[in-house]
Structure 1
């Protein structure tokens, strides 16, 4: 596992120690957990922004977010995102579903 180092303000170091204590973990474990959760949140945020601007499709947004298509649709529903699908897209999806 690669090692990284970062400088953080004293206040954030105190917060890190408080959270680590709440979780019953050491600093390193808490940092790894916070990084994983933060990166996941960032991926979803980027996917939401790009999807809402019409820059990416539903499938591409799901890939950017690192989730399945079903999970992406749930995220989109929770955030009240507007569909970027055209009526032609919906018809093509309906045809594909009928062929299954």
Structure 2
């Protein structure tokens, strides 16, 4: 929970929402027994985490990034990323050098 001082030091942003989304936001805020601002911050935080993970999965799956790079994109530790990759049965077309880099990165942890 944020104090009044915390909130006063936060930048303010605004967004336009269709009335259906505003109604949905109000419904979720009521469901969570929170004010609209708190619900927006939670939704934004969770949504950003989801988007980061989706991009990491897509780039890893296409072979554009190594496991270590995907972990960094998803803002996860390499161990957390490897759990995600295992849970989602992700495969990639990485070169041996990429795998060696991932092994070196994991060894440093």
TM-score normalised by the chain length of structure 2: 0.78
**Structure 1 residues not aligned, in runs of 5+:** none
List structure 1 segments (4+ residues) > 6 angstroms apart after TM superposition: 91-98
Equivalences for 1:43-82 in 2 at 5 Å?
A: 43-82=52-91
Encode CA deviations 1:30-55: one digit per residue, 9 max, x unaligned.
00000000000000000000000000
Number of equivalences: 98
The two structures, once aligned, show a CA RMSD in angstroms of 2.5
TM-score, length basis structure 1: 0.84
List alignment gaps of at least 5 residues for structure 2. 1-9
